[in-house]
Each structure stands twice: as structure tokens, then as C-alpha cells.
Structure 1
Amino acid sequence: KSFEFEDVVRWTAQQGCREMESRRSGLYHTRSQDSVYEDIISDVLRENPYEDIKVSPMCIPIMRSRNWTVTQRRTPCTPKLPPKPLTLRVNADRLQEVYKQSAMSHFQSSNPGTPRPPTTKPAAAYRTQRQPQYVSRIEEIFQAKRGKKRVKNQTSASRDELSGTESDPEEITKKGGSQRLVYVQSTLKRRPGYRTLERDLIQLQQQQLFQLFVVVSLRKRSPGNTYYPEITQQFPTKFEKTSRMSRETEDRLKAIPNFCFPDAQDWRPSADINSETFSFVLTGEDGTRWFGYCRKILPCGKGKRLPEVHCIISRLGCFNLFAKILEEVERRREISPALVHPFMRSVMEAPFPAPGRTITVKSFLPGSGNEELTLCRPVDSRLEHVDFESLLQCLSVSTLLQVFASLLLERRVIFIADKLGTLSRCAHSALALLYPFTWQHTFVPVLPANMLDISCSPTPFVMGALSPSLDQLLDLPIEEVLIVDLCADKFVVQMGDEDCILPSKLQAALQEVLESREEMLEHCSEDRKEDECSLSALVSEAFVRLFVELVGHYPLHIETGYNGVRELNRETFRKSHPSRGVRQFLQLFMDTQMFAGFIQDRELRKGGVKGLFEVRAAEYLASCPEPEPSGVNKFLKGL
């Protein structure tokens, strides 16, 4: 019995004059002008739930001509009914939506004037340019170490949370795992608030390029032959007392000289000193960071002289941009010190550059006339302020991975080196390995000798100290700290479990990539540009691949609550990974401030420029197979 037109028959039965006609064709009035079902042919496009059913010719109703209006002719008239119920394809639609959004957002941000690519191939947007060979080689190594297991969908993951097998033997001892969990959770309780990098950058959009420029010189103490650092010039010279930012700047003025010359007591006049560029970071009580970019030079003159440091204080972490400015400052100071302030005024008046944008600074130089300095802020700051070559020369791959694992759990780390440049470069490079995550705690790449007591802080930190300060550090009551000697490639003090933090398979894959880095670069340099085959780019790709394997599936588990706030479903996110070792690591890692800041950064960054991690994560999700239907969904798909 057909129930579709049951009420049509009932309606025609009440019409005695049309009884015979309704018996001949019960479908006649369904498409006529006086049909009560006339709204089926409407302007709303709908999907026909019976489109897969082969219709018999005897069931086709008789069509009559219809008087169309002008407005109806402008719109398509193909009838479609409501879409299929969402309950039949929740997981498939969820995956397809994430793949499509990730691919489209990257394609549109990189090519705003280009039409969208086909949605059937979401990964095609990333294949428009041929990638370096080492990218595919890194992917092959991780796939070989990981095996065929891929990220599970939300429903199946909850059933197989503890489905560890003999082929996946990663285990963390109960004692060690519980101690690490207690440490991470206690850290989060001590500092529940955090400031993310993306939030800082949003607040900086209307800020100046830098806040302060100073020249720090050495002055001789009256008794003895030792020297102390002192600010001899600064720009701007005065601050408004009513400005909160100005008061903070004045407070930091007292600490800047010690960071420019952390070893002031060891300096002596010299006639030949190589210029050196380094940096430091000042962290405020509220978590805000001020970056100090320094260039140590020997002033013009004859005979033995003391060096001086040009220092720019800014809230923007972009080393190459400010290194270029400092080179121009040195160039002008060699001609005349009077040329420095007008140039820095032009730089300060320049607009704050957005990621990937370029600004032009105009200035006058005697003998050359008006000049334009082009400053570009990179789209992705992962390779800014890093020198992975120095870090890999100082530390073996095994030691480096243990330091990296300690940083992921936000432990206290102190680097020791005999040179200021080595200490600064290695400390910054170690934190750059955390991309796309951002270190949320205290960071002092070069700690002055008279400020070593800061290392007794109970909160996480990353610090650097010169080798003469090591004995004094060992006498301080520092708890749970990792002290790394960069010159000897060894741990002076360690916890003992650094090699058991990362999942063993992914750690083995990352170690193999780093150990074969020279071979990969040799094959890459044959047909690629020099900057595309740099060591920094390869190392960054390797660590990004590790994070893609660990947390690249997080977009599948972002849910919108009743209040409209998008949050991560932590349980399904962790349980969806097929590796027991990864699940145990995520249980620790999700409680860090670094992870909380990462999720918030991604929501704030939504719709903006996509970095390397977003690109690789989208490719990773696009390569994952769609979840297989189960239960009723599988039965309906079979039909």
C-alpha cells in the first residue's frame, strides 16, 4: 500500500463529482495547479530522498503546463527535498568538513585572486609548488616507524582506548608517569594564567615597531680596574609620566645594561673586537615579554678601546628584522653619531607590520642622499632568531631530543656555555624547536652573574649562564632542574627520565631524520634554491612532522558549546590516537600551559595566515582515510 498519496485519495473521495477521475489517476492532482502539494515545486532547492530508486514509467504522473511568473523563471526549478539525516553520516561529514576548510583557507590566504580548487582533492592546494625532496623523505621515515596505524574517528576511538598490542610496546612506568603528571599539574596550578603569542600580536597591531633604543658603554669603577655597564644614550630621551607603558620602560632601564654586558667585570680595553649580535628577553610579572636585540661593536678610534652595545627593546620577536636595523645603525654611527637618532625616529614612526607585510623606512644619509630601507616581517616566525647549526654542533642528536622532551613538559632548563653568542643562539634555537607551541614561562637566554638567584624560582624557566658561573649555580638550592653543558655535550644535572618522555617510535623517527640531515640536504641542493634547502628549514620540518603526528588531528575534536565557545574535547582527542605511547604522552602534555596556549592561538588565528604547521596538518588530515561506517550506517550504505 502506498502511503505517500494517502491523504490525496482521502481528499478526492470527498469530492463526489470527481470520484471517477480520481480512481483513474490517483497521482493526477499532485502536480496540478490546484494540488495541496504544490509547494513541492518551490524556489528552495532540496535533495530528493528517492533519487536512488529506479522509477517505473507507470508511476510517472501526467504533466500539465504551468503559467510561470517572471520571478520564478529567474530561479532554478529543479525540485529537491531536504538532505539526508545527519545521524547517518556524522563522522564522514565531520572529516570532510575539516579537510575542506583547512585546504580552502590555506589556498585562499596564499592565492586570494585565484578560484577555489576542486573540493574532491583537498590536498591539491598544497601540491601547486614542488616541495623539497627532504619533505617527502621525512614523511616516509615517520610512516615506516609509525606503521599502518592512523588516527581513529571519535566513535571508534572511545571503544579502543587501551587497545595496546605487542607491535606498540611504548610504556611508561607507573611511578615515573605519576611523578611527571604531578609535576605538570602543580605547574599549571601555580600559574593558571598564560599569555599566548597570538594574543600578544593582536594587542600589538597599533603599537610601535620598538619601544626603546639605547647605547650601553662600560665605565671604570673608581677603586680597582673593573668595569660596570651604563646607558650613555637613549631614544626617546623622555617619557610621559602618565603613560603606563613609559613607567614600565623606565623600570626596565635599570636591568638593560646588565643584559647587554652580562660579563662586564671580565672586559678589558682592546684594539680588535669582532662585532657580535645577540639578544635577551625581559619577562614581566604579567607574562609580557620584551625582546632586547643587541649588537656589540668597537667604536671608531685608535688604540685600545672598550666596546659598546647598541640595543633595541621591542615587543616583537623578529630577530632578522631588527638585526638589519642594527646594521644600519652601525653604518651611520661610523659616519657620525648624530645620524643615529634621526634614523631611529623614522623607524619608530613606521607602521607596525602585519605577518608577511613589508614596510619602507626613508632616511637621509650624507653622500648618498635619501635612502629607503625595506623591512619585512615573515609570515611564519618559526625560523626567525634561530641557528640550528650551532645547536646541532654543540649537542648530539640524542642529547638534543632529551632537552626537547624536557621543554615539552615545561621543566627548568639551564644552558651553560663559554661564549655569549653560543649561549644566546642555542637557547633561542631550543625554544624554536617547540613550534607551533610557544614557551609560556620565564626565558632568560643570558643571565648576568649578579642575577643568578633568579634560578631558584619554583616556576618553569629556560635560562643561560656563562661557564664561570657554573660553580655558583651548583651551590644554589635549585629543585628539579636540567643543566646542559653546551661545550662538553653533557648533562651536569638531570632528572634521569628524559629519554622516556617522548613516544619511542616517533622519537626513533625524529632521531633518524636528524642523523641523516646532511644526506637529505645534499640530494635537495641539486635542484632547489639555497634557502629552500637550508638546515634550519629541514630541522623545522622534522619537528613539525612530529607535532603533526602527535596533535595534528585536533581540528576533528573542536566542538561548539551551548554558549557558542569553541573548545577542544580533550577525551576524544586523546583517545582517538591509536598509539598507547602517544596517548600516555598526551595525558601529560595536555595539562601544560604550552598546550592550552596552542589551542587558544589556533582559535585566534582562525581565518588568518596559515603557517607551516597548519599546512602540514591539513595535508595529514587529507591523507587519512574516511572512517568506515558501522552498525546501522554500514547497513544503510550496503543498501
Structure 2
Amino acid sequence: MASDSKAAGNAVTREIESRIKQIPEHLFEVFLEIREPIDNEIPAILLKYPENFPDEHLKTVTNFAYPCKMPSDEQSEHFAFVILDSTGTLFRFGYCRRSNRESTCLCIISFYPWFEVFYKILNDLSQVIVSKSTADVEQLLSSLYNYKLFSIEEFYKNEGKEEIEINILSKNFNYTRPDPRKLPSMLSSRNFSVMVSRLGPELMLCLFSHLLFERRILFVSSKLFHLTACAYGCLNLIHPMHWQSIFLPILPASMTWTTQCSTPYIIGLHSSLFSTLKMDELGDVVIVKIDERKIESQYDDLSLFPKYLIRSMKKGIQQSSQLAGDHLARVFLRAMAFTVGNYANGFDIKNDKLDFDRERYLEPYLGSHVHTFMSAVANTQMFEQFSRYRTHAQLEREVDIDEFDLEVRNLQKLQQSKKFKTNKKIYKLLEKAASPLFEQVQNKTERIQTVINKAGQRVASEASSVRNNLTSFDINDVIKRTHNSKIHQSITTNNVRDKKSVYQSSTPDLQNENSIPYERIHSKDNLFLSEPHLINQDQISSSSASSSRSSTPELDRHKSNTLINLDTDDENLLLPSPIVLNVINTPVPPPRSTSNSSNRLKN
């Protein structure tokens, strides 16, 4: 065989690592109808197909079909055993259907691990056999034996779907080919569902730890079907690795000595045979009593697991009771991805060839709390074959992506997400630590902004005052003031000299007449004065000066304009006549410098 030559060359292919033949020639190897033995006689074969199948292995098959004496009240049940092929490497599965009413056992030997398919085929064959038509039985067996299945490539191209259809005897027999890439669920896998119902998630977690360390595990039950379900079902817990040691889901009475082997094993033993064993000869075996739902072990393997891994698995197991589908199987797959998902760390180049170095793989764990755990896993036969196959797959560029690879990628994304969240938490801590400084800077900034706003408001107010003065500028009033000041300058000067200087408040009470800082001039000479005269000479001079500066800022510019002569004594006919108003004016406030305001407005 090609696989044998590769094995000789230390190359571990998928077939060798999984111990499952990848391309069998037929759907099954042989079909047998075996009669139940009476007393201690050898079980007799009533029907065999094909007839040319070698008889050298048939005696072994009959022993597995009737591993022990069964009670007469047992109902029909399905179970399966395993025998090795001619190379002693690959599994051949023996699917059995027993019925006390028929006193026979129907058995099919096949390389395919398709439990549901072959259990259904056995049921259909049983119905045909009951009809007492040997020709019909042979016709159905011939159609199944020669049925051409899709190749693996064709099966995957068809999205993992194939219906096996047999149309004979005016009947249609349909069987659905299972997809090996899918994880088992409570509905799709009878073995997995029975194991979960009989053991429960907590015992499964303990069993998983013993499997991962390759302990000697002995299943005990009064039901052959329960032995089959638990022995095969537990293999799903360690996917993608495969059990490499002794695997006997059903152990016949003639082989009970196997339980004393020192090598790791998974063995299923009927309760009637277990009672005949000497317990002191078994040694440190892990006994799983299915009917009693308990595990007896000298090992506390679960304590060697990383605590966070156990917490995560327990949480997932608790949720699996509420979730359908493959959730429970995925809990264990995620644990395997977490444990051996970084197998690529052990890849090394030796003699210009890719190889796997166990020491290189374990180097990152030296001195850590998980080193003992990882070292125990890495030194198992399962991991040895797993790592060698993955190395071979890299060399041959086998890029088939299964559920394990997808779960590893999901874990990598999750770790990256956790790093991002960790960085985000660190940023928040730094932000929290720096927030007092930010608040101080913000408070100072607000104070400075308040000062700037107030200054801006003052500037805007002064600018508004300037604009109002500019808009209220009356050139006629300016001309009249200039004209009157020249005519009555001498009169005003003489009157002021005769008066006593009186200083008044800058904010007089307009309701009190005595507080008004001016008097009316009723002389004939000043009847044409339109403006009241302040009594204080200083106020007059300062007021007139400030008024000319603040109320007429454009005056100097207009004086420089030759088109308008504001200094003439003659009445300018181009301007409207001035209007004389009789009003009471309050003292003019102190003059403000407009140069700064003008500069700010320009800026």
C-alpha cells in the first residue's frame, strides 16, 4: 500500500494519523449473519457476502459479535466493535444488530465510521431476511457492495452532501452519507448523545482530562450499546487528535487479559465480565462505571489543567444544556484549540527539510505555571502523530480547512480583540489619571477666555459708541457752533469773569432745579444762542474741547477738504439752516481716548 511506504519513510499521512482508510474499494467488506451460540460452542455463520471473503478473520468477528452470554430478556440493540486491518494500523468497524426473537446477530464489516448509515442498513436487511427470500437479500447486498460513492474531492465539491439510493424489490432504500468535517451534535450522532445522557457533562470533563494524558480507561456497563456509545463518543472530545493506542470498544471474554496491559487503552467491558477480574491486577486504571454514572481514578488530572481553561469549559458546559446543535462538542474543540492550536511553534528546518521539534515547541512554556500541563500533553503518542501529520500537511500543502483550524483562527481573533480591549483599558486608566491636569488646564483656559471675552465686550462697546457718534454727526450743527463762537466769544468771556466759580457733581439731580449747572442768558445780546452755557469756566473749556474731539472725529478730515470751508463767517447756502433747540444738557462725561478703540476696530 502507498500509505505503508510513506509510513516506512517516517511520513505520517492523514490516513495513518486518523487510522481511518481514506479510499476503501467498497462500501463494506463483508456481511455476516451469525447464530447465537449454545452453551460453549463456537458461534456459527449462517450467511456470508461476498462468499470469497477470507475466513482467517471470521473467527475473531464471531467472538466480538457474541462477547459474553447475554440475558434472554434483552431487547434488540446495536453496537460496534473494532478489528485491525492486515497492516495492524487501520481500523475496521464491525456494526452489529442483535435480536433475541431471531436468535441471530447481523454484522457488517466496513472501513467507514458511519454508525447511523450502517445501523439503518442492518435494520433494512433484517426486514428482508424475515421475508425468507435469500435472493432478495443477496440483491440488496450486491447493490450496496458495488455502490460507487463520490470521491472525497467530489463529496466536498458537492458541499458535503451525498445520498446513497438503492432501488430494488420495488422499494427505495436511501442513506445519507455523513460529513466527517462536522462536529457531532445531540441529533446527528447517536454515540455522542448517549454518552452525554449516560455520563453527563461533569463526568465528560473529567474523562477528557484522562484522555488527554493517555490514561488506561476501562468502560463498564451491562449494555453493549452504552459501551459502544461512550467508547466511540469520547474520541470526539480529543478532536483533532486521534487515539493511537489500544482501542477495543467491545472486549470479548477470550481477551479479558488485555485489561492488564501497561500501555494506554480504551476498552469497553460488559459488567458480567468485569466481575471476574482481579482488581489488584488492573493497577492504576481509570474505571468509568456507566450504569452507576461515576469514575474511579487514582489521578487528579483535572488539577493540572490551567484554571482559566477549566473555568471556561465549565461555563460552556453549563450553557450547552440550553443550546442545541454542536455547542457541547465545540466546548471541547475550543479547549483543544487552546491547548495544541499553536503547534506551528514547533516547526523547524533540519537538513533543509521541515520538521517538528518538541523541545522548540515547549520552549515558550519553560518556567511558566502551564509547563507541566503542556509537557504532559506534548509527550503523548496522540500529539506525536498529530504534530508529524501537520508537518507532512505543510510539506504536501494540504490546505483542507476543518473545524479545528477555524476554531484556532477564532481564538487568534479573540486574543487580538482582548489585546485591543486591554490597550483601551490602559488608555482609560491613563486618561483617568490625567483628568485632574486636564481639568486644571481647562479651568485656566476658561478663566483666560472670560477675561478675553470681557475685554472684547469693552472694545465692542467703545466701538459701538464711536459708530453712534459718527452716525449722529451733524455738519450743520458744527458750522453753526463755529459761527456763533466767533461772534459771541467776547461776550461769553466777560460774563464768565463776573461769575463765581461753582463746582457741581458730575451726576446732577435733574429733579432739583438748583442742581442744574447752567443758567439761561436773557440779555438781548445772546438771544440767538441755542446752547445753554455752563457756569464753570473749566467745564466750558474742557467740555468744548472734548466735545469737538469725541463727537466730531471726522472734523479735521473735512477741514482739510478744500471743497467745504467750515471757517467762513458767511452763511453757507448749500447747507440747511440750523434748528435752534431749547434743551437741558447734562455735564459731558470725561473725554475718552478713541485712538485705542480705532486701532482695535482696524485690527
TM-score scaled to structure 1, two decimals?
0.56
Deviation at 1:613, TM superposition (A): 0.5
Partners of 2:20 and 2:111 within 8 A in 1: no
Deviation at 1:562, TM superposition (A): 3.4
Deviation at 1:553, TM superposition (A): 2.1
- Aligned equivalents of 2:340 and 2:415: distance in 1? 14
Q: 1:432/1:473 Cα in 2 relative to 1: closer, same or farther (>3 Å)?
A: farther
- Aligned equivalents of 1:358 and 1:372: distance in 2? 17
Q: Deviations over 1:507-550 (max 9, x none)?
A: 2221222133223x1xxxxxxxxxxx23xx11110001101111
Partners of 1:413 and 1:462 within 8 A in 2: yes
Aligned to 1:407: 211
Partners of 2:117 and 2:175 within 8 A in 1: no
Letter of the aligned partner of 1:502 in structure 2? F
SS of 1:462's equivalent in the other structure is strand
- Aligned equivalents of 1:491 and 1:609: distance in 2? 37
User: Is 2:373 aligned against 1:585?
Assistant: yes
Aligned to 1:515: 318
* Mapping of residues 347-496 of structure 1, within 5 Å: 347-351=144-148, 353-354=151-152, 356=156, 357=160, 361=164, 363-368=166-171, 371=172, 373-380=174-181, 382-383=183-184, 387-475=191-279, 477-492=281-296, 494-496=297-299
Deviation at 1:211, TM superposition (A): 1.3
SS of 2:97's equivalent in the other structure is strand
Deviation at 1:234, TM superposition (A): 1.0
Identity %: 24
SS of 1:555's equivalent in the other structure is helix
- Aligned equivalents of 2:224 and 2:247: distance in 1? 16
- Aligned equivalents of 2:220 and 2:319: distance in 1? 27
Partners of 2:33 and 2:46 within 8 A in 1: yes
* Mapping of residues 260-271 of structure 1, within 5 Å: 260-263=65-68, 265-268=69-72
* Mapping of residues 246-257 of structure 1, within 5 Å: 246=54, 250-257=55-62
Q: Deviations over 1:118-164 (max 9, x none)?
A: xxxxxxxxxxxxxxxxxxxxxxxxxxxxxxxxxxxxxxxxxxxxxxx
Q: 1:619/1:259 Cα in 2 relative to 1: closer, same or farther (>3 Å)?
A: same
Letter of the aligned partner of 1:307 in structure 2? S
Q: 1:403/1:195 Cα in 2 relative to 1: closer, same or farther (>3 Å)?
A: farther
Partners of 1:385 and 1:428 within 8 A in 2: no
Letter of the aligned partner of 1:464 in structure 2? G
Structure with bigger gyration radius? 2
Deviation at 1:619, TM superposition (A): 2.4
SS of 2:35's equivalent in the other structure is strand
Letter of the aligned partner of 2:333 in structure 1? V
Partners of 1:194 and 1:440 within 8 A in 2: no
Aligned to 1:338: 135
SS of 1:446's equivalent in the other structure is coil
Aligned to 1:237: 51
SS of 1:447's equivalent in the other structure is coil
- Aligned equivalents of 1:197 and 1:459: distance in 2? 24
Equivalent position to 1:198, from 10, 15, 22? 15
Partners of 1:414 and 1:463 within 8 A in 2: yes
Deviation at 1:386, TM superposition (A): 5.2
- Aligned equivalents of 1:329 and 1:572: distance in 2? 54
TM-score scaled to structure 2, two decimals?
0.59
- Aligned equivalents of 1:291 and 1:579: distance in 2? 44
- Aligned equivalents of 2:138 and 2:293: distance in 1? 43
Aligned to 1:278: 79
Equivalent position to 2:362, from 574, 578, 603? 574
User: Is 2:122 aligned against 1:320?
Assistant: no
User: Is 2:350 aligned against 1:561?
Assistant: yes
Partners of 1:444 and 1:463 within 8 A in 2: yes
Equivalent position to 1:498, from 301, 312, 321? 301
Structure 1 residue runs without a partner (length 5+) = 1-192, 240-245, 299-304, 522-532, 629-639
Partners of 1:293 and 1:312 within 8 A in 2: yes
* Mapping of residues 89-168 of structure 1, within 5 Å: none
Deviation at 1:306, TM superposition (A): 4.2
Partners of 2:95 and 2:108 within 8 A in 1: yes
Q: 1:595/1:486 Cα in 2 relative to 1: closer, same or farther (>3 Å)?
A: same
Partners of 1:194 and 1:597 within 8 A in 2: no
Aligned to 2:430: none
- Aligned equivalents of 2:366 and 2:411: distance in 1? 15
- Aligned equivalents of 2:365 and 2:128: distance in 1? 57
Partners of 1:196 and 1:438 within 8 A in 2: no
Q: Deviations over 1:1-50 (max 9, x none)?
A: xxxxxxxxxxxxxxxxxxxxxxxxxxxxxxxxxxxxxxxxxxxxxxxxxx
User: Is 2:4 aligned against 1:215?
Assistant: no
Q: 1:467/1:329 Cα in 2 relative to 1: closer, same or farther (>3 Å)?
A: same
Q: 1:197/1:296 Cα in 2 relative to 1: closer, same or farther (>3 Å)?
A: farther
Deviation at 1:361, TM superposition (A): 5.0
Q: 1:579/1:360 Cα in 2 relative to 1: closer, same or farther (>3 Å)?
A: farther
Moved more, 467-476 or 199-208: 199-208
Deviation at 1:581, TM superposition (A): 3.7
Number of equivalent positions: 396
- Aligned equivalents of 1:366 and 1:358: distance in 2? 26
Q: 1:393/1:340 Cα in 2 relative to 1: closer, same or farther (>3 Å)?
A: same
Partners of 2:224 and 2:270 within 8 A in 1: yes
Deviation at 1:394, TM superposition (A): 2.8
Q: 1:579/1:549 Cα in 2 relative to 1: closer, same or farther (>3 Å)?
A: farther
Letter of the aligned partner of 2:38 in structure 1? K
Aligned to 1:105: none
Moved more, 467-476 or 501-510: 467-476
- Aligned equivalents of 2:392 and 2:148: distance in 1? 22
* RMSD, aligned CA: 3.2
